[in-house]
Structure 1
Amino acid sequence: MKRTVLTLSLAVAASLSLSACAAAQNTGAPSLAKRSVEGRFDVAPPPVVVAPPGPLPADLGGRLGRWESDAAAAQQAFAAERNTAASLVSAAAGAAVASERWVVAQQAISRLTATRAPLTAALADIDRLYLDRSVAEAIDGLPEIYALRDRLAEMVSTQDAVVEALSGQLPGQ
């Protein structure tokens, strides 16, 4: 019985709402159909033609060359210092924290990190150059700038992994 009453009340409510919709259409309410004026704006905008970047400006060539040579020198210094640091960290593997061997190994890692300064400075400078030129929409030479930036970032990432691995070998890290 309750089920029949519920079904009947739902049917009555649905028919009342449908009749209200039908009545609204007859009262002169605005139609939601597309008007003729709305079709005028269906035209796609013309494609934007962006000129490809030109060659690297002459004034930037020297800066990029200097940063690349600084990075190469830092990479060589890091490679030379890495073997020394690795042997000192290996010698301190079983030493207690703050012991003589542990302190010497920490200092070797610090020296290894210090050799990276020219590389990280060059990366920071090239990041700033890239951002400044991007903001100024000076796109000439951006591919060369970004390529050097990518190489320097890869060097830094590789060196980060070496320093982290050496630090992880020391007790108390």
Structure 2
Amino acid sequence: MKVTPANIARLVLSAAPLLLGGCLKPMAELPSLERRAVELRDREAEAKAPPPPVESAVDPALARDLAAMLARADTAEADFAVAHSAAQQAAGAARGKDVGSELWSVAQTRISALDAPRRELAQILGDLEELYVARLQKEAAGELKSGGSDQIEQARQHVLALLANQNEVITRLKASLAS
């Protein structure tokens, strides 16, 4: 059989019903062209509406524990401030004096007194980290609602900042005696 345009046309016309038959399905199986509920939503109104309030998991026991720890941290910070004032005065008096002199020894003693409140803050930080890990494990296991770990992390960051500041103060005071 020779390939001519007429033969091609006959072949296409004879195969057309077979090809189109595969495309026909009952109407019940076809998806609807109606607008879906998601398409009918008023997106502009949703964008202008305030976001829903974030559910905060307020655990009274956790709040009480965190308040107690932060109160201890505030006390340690106040103790550090008092000791810092005395250490700063002693370091100022010892500046330029010989290592081992009376004023230098007094300044070293006063700077060493800063370690006690700093140790207290370090202990509080350790307690917060233990509480944080335990809380995360319980939240992951579904034993507790999530959200409490966020509160612990905020308290932990606060204590960490206080501790970093105290370390900086001590380092600065020691450096002032070295010269």
TM (normalized to structure 2)? 0.62
CA apart distance, 1:54: 4.9
**Deviation, structure 1 residue 107:** 0.5
Task: State the alpha-carbon separation in 2 of the partners of residues 152 and 53 from structure 1.
Answer: 25
User: What is the CA RMSD across the aligned residues, in angstroms?
Assistant: 1.9
Name the residue aligned to 1:72: 74
Q: Point out where structure 2 has 5 or more consecutive residues left out of the alignment.
A: 1-53
Equivalent residues of 2:80, 2:117 under 8 A apart? yes
Greater relative contact order structure (CA < 8 Å, 6+ sep): 1
Q: Deviating runs (4+, > 4 A) in structure 1?
A: none
* Matches of 2:122 and 2:172, distance apart in 1: 19
- Report what 2:150 is aligned to: 143
Q: Distance in 1 between matches of 2:98 and 2:62?
A: 51
- Distance, in Å, in 2 between the alignment partners of 1:144 and 1:157 is 20
CA contact (8 A) 1:96 1:102 kept: yes
Q: Check if 1:126 corresponds to 2:131.
A: no
Residue 58 (structure 1) shift: 2.3
Distance 1:166 1:53 in 2: 46
Q: Does 1:160 align with 2:162?
A: no
Query: Is the counterpart of residue 169 in structure 1 residue 171 in structure 2?
Result: no
Task: Give the aligned partner of residue 110 of structure 2.
Answer: 108
Q: Does 1:96 align with 2:98?
A: yes
What residue is the counterpart of 1:62 in the other structure? 64
- Taking the aligned partners of 1:53 and 1:92, their CA distance within structure 2 comes to 56
1:87-129 Cα offsets, whole Å, 9 max, x none, are 1011111122222111111110111221223222111100111
1:57–1:140 contact (8 Å) kept in structure 2? no
Question: 1:135 offset after TM fit, Å?
Answer: 3.3
SS in structure 2 of the partner of residue 170 of structure 1: helix
Paired residues of 2:135 and 2:148 also in contact (CA < 8 A): no
Which has the larger Rg? 2
Q: Would the aligned equivalents of 1:96 and 1:171 in 2 still touch at CA under 8 Å?
A: no
CA–CA distance in structure 1, aligned partners of residues 166 and 108 of structure 2: 16
Q: Once the two structures are aligned, what percentage of the paired residues are identical?
A: 29
Three-state SS of the structure 1 residue aligned to 2:114 is helix
Cα separation, 2, equivalents of 1:56 and 1:102: 51
